[in-house]
Chain A
Amino acid sequence: MAEPLLALHGLRKRFGGLAVTDDVSLDVMPGEIHAIIGPNGAGKTTLINEISGVLPVDAGRILFAGQDITRLPLHRRARRGLARSFQITSIIPDFTALENAALAVQAGDGTSFRFFRPAGSERRLNEAALAALDSVGLAHRAATPAGAMSHGEKRQLELAIALATQPRLLLLDEPLAGAGPEETERLVSLLRGLRGRYTIVLVEHDMQAVFALADRISVLVYGRLIATGGPDAIRHNTEVRAAYLGEDDLPLAGAPC
């Protein structure tokens, strides 16, 4: 069996008396889409924040490509190929869509301590940025200021920014949050197009999308992982069913994809 790209070993995090991450261990294999689901307040975003380096963990280890990154700050993890999107859209509003993506390309293109040439006319950056925009269907909006885009477009741009860094691992925190039905459809088919090319950790509330996209699913309840497995195994897991009792959004057998 191949080495996992990302391995979490016994992660723990407390906010006061509340254990938000409670002994979480998890492997993410290269090339898979690994979804993390759970009821509200299960600690999904916290887990993404711990993996990406926004929040420090109290205990446990995070291995990325076999190396311990537990103590590395956010920007150092990004340099190693960990890209993330945010639940609340995180773009640079006064930049155009193209400049947002170009900044991401620039991050992986040597030093940014370059003072003379106008970055806006660097063809190499712009071409790669445009390709990233194109891959999410935003090429025609390249010159639009990001702050003036629609919510759905901002979600697409957020994805383009993450892709433009050419990451080894994509951490997507609710990429569909707040998107309308049409936008959701577009984003899901976009994510499906990434399958096999990227390793993705996906946190998402839209269960239809999760079960359509994920190779494996981990279920988080009150900071604890209660199950990990393929979509079918999770769908029929009694503990998972119990955790979602009273919520209608866990699709039962044969959910439409």
Chain B
Amino acid sequence: MRELGRILGRELPALLLLGGLAAAPFIGFGEGYMLTLLARMMILAMAAVSLSFIVAGAGLVSLGHAATLGFGAYAVVILDDLQVVDALFVLPAAILAAAGFALVTGAVAIRTSGVNFIMITLAFGQMAFFTASSLSGYGGDDGYTLYARTEVNGARLLDDRLVFHFVCLGALVLTWLLCRMLLASRFGRVLRAVRGNPMRAQALGFSPYPYRLTAYVIAGALGGAAGFLFANATEFVAPAYISWQRSGELLFMVILGGLSGLHGALLGAIGFVLLEEWLSHQWEHWRIAFGVLLILAVLFLPGGLSGIPAQLGRMLRRG
């Protein structure tokens, strides 16, 4: 019982956020525009959580994570063009495409570390971006508009906005639970050990490479699932989805939220999207203010948004 209380206490921020997202449509955020924003928020949060899994969990700072979303989204596009529109085929294809991309690029990238790893993932991401731009059959730079949302076993389930809201929420919760479970497992313990002290982990008999590559592929697969949802949310896919700016935004969400746990990525993604939305309505040149705010957040919130309570506690104690 006390154990349960402890777990609830530790996961409280994440549970509150997820509970809030579940309640949102019923407490005044139920109209179309709001649901679109919430879906975008949850899908990006899903991508951010999967990125946080490799950044915070394995020390793999990828600047090419958007490419896995791109592979998922373009899987939807290509199958849509072939008139394969059932989630039964489309979702596994999106996940496998992104996981395959992560496997091939990760196999090379994970041989490096630090800045080199960041640059290699960036380079692979840009390769995916330019490849997508050159797919003239799918609109090239202009992007591709889907005929319709993906069907689920023949039913046009995802067309219902409320259903889609809860599909996105479900996917986000599953992603969060999966990453959490993995980090707590033996596998995750080795990952965290390799991040904390690679030499120690090797001296105990663990070769970092297979663990890191496995984590990278899992994060890629989750990115692919998020890409599948993204394509369905907007019913439109363009190379801009894969650009390095998007990868940078995802990384920023992770850092903004804080690296101490997966809930940081949830918080970071939600905070990022809300701030972006609010500022863009205030001022035409909102990106300037956005940039300044993000810089301030990094400077003054070392533990990210999720570290604010602890930071306040320390300040109060110091008086």
Contact = CB atoms under 8 A, between A and B. Distances in A.
Interface residues of A, number: 36
A103 B190 contact: yes
Contacts of A165: 204-205
Contacts of B203: 52, 54, 74-75, 78, 83-84, 86, 90
B192 A95 contact: yes
Interface in B187-224: 187-190, 192-193, 196-197, 199-207, 210-211, 214
B185 A116 contact: yes
A107 B197 contact: no
Nearest to A158: B200
B190 to A, nearest CB: 5
A79 B193 CA distance: 17
A123 interface: no
Q: How large is the interface on B (under 10, 10 to 19, 20 to 34, 35 or more residues)?
A: 20 to 34
Contacts of B193: 92, 95, 103
B205 A119 contact: no
B205 A108 contact: yes
Interface in A58-113: 73-76, 78-79, 83-84, 86, 90-95, 99, 102-104, 106-108, 112-113
A191 to B, nearest CB: 19
A115 B185 contact: yes
Contacts of A122: 186
B205 A78 contact: yes
Interface in B163-203: 181-182, 184-190, 192-193, 196-197, 199-203
Contacts of A102: 189
Contacts of A140: none
Contact of B204 (A54, A107, A114): A107
Given A99-B189, A103-B189, A120 B204 contact: no
Contacts of B197: 90-93
Nearest to B204: A107
Chain B at the A interface: mostly helix, strand, loop or mixed? Answer: helix
A119 B188 CA distance: 8
B214 A161 contact: no
Contacts of B204: 75, 78, 83, 103-104, 107, 161, 165
Which one of B186, B192, B193 has the greatest number of beta carbons of chain A within 10 Å? B186
Interface string B256-273: 000000000000000000
Interface string A168-190: 00000000000000000000000
A246 interface: no
Contacts of A107: 204-206
A197 interface: no
A93 B200 contact: no
Nearest to A113: B187
A118 B3 CA distance: 14
Which one of A78, A83, A92 has the greatest number of beta carbons of chain B within 10 Å? A92
A79 B197 CA distance: 18
Which one of B193, B201, B204 has the greatest number of beta carbons of chain A within 10 Å? B204
A75 B238 CA distance: 45
Nearest to B197: A92
Nearest to A74: B202
Given A90-B199, A93-B196, A75 B207 contact: yes
Interface of A: 52, 54, 73-76, 78-79, 83-84, 86, 90-95, 99, 102-104, 106-108, 112-120, 122, 161, 165
- 3 smallest A-B Cβ distances: which pairs? A78-B205, A92-B196, A118-B184
28 contacts: A52-B203, A73-B202, A73-B207, A75-B203, A75-B205, A78-B203, A78-B205, A79-B205, A83-B203, A83-B204, A92-B197, A95-B196, A103-B193, A106-B186, A107-B206, A108-B205, A112-B186, A112-B187, A112-B189, A112-B190, A112-B206, A112-B211, A114-B186, A115-B186, A116-B181, A118-B184, A118-B185, A119-B188
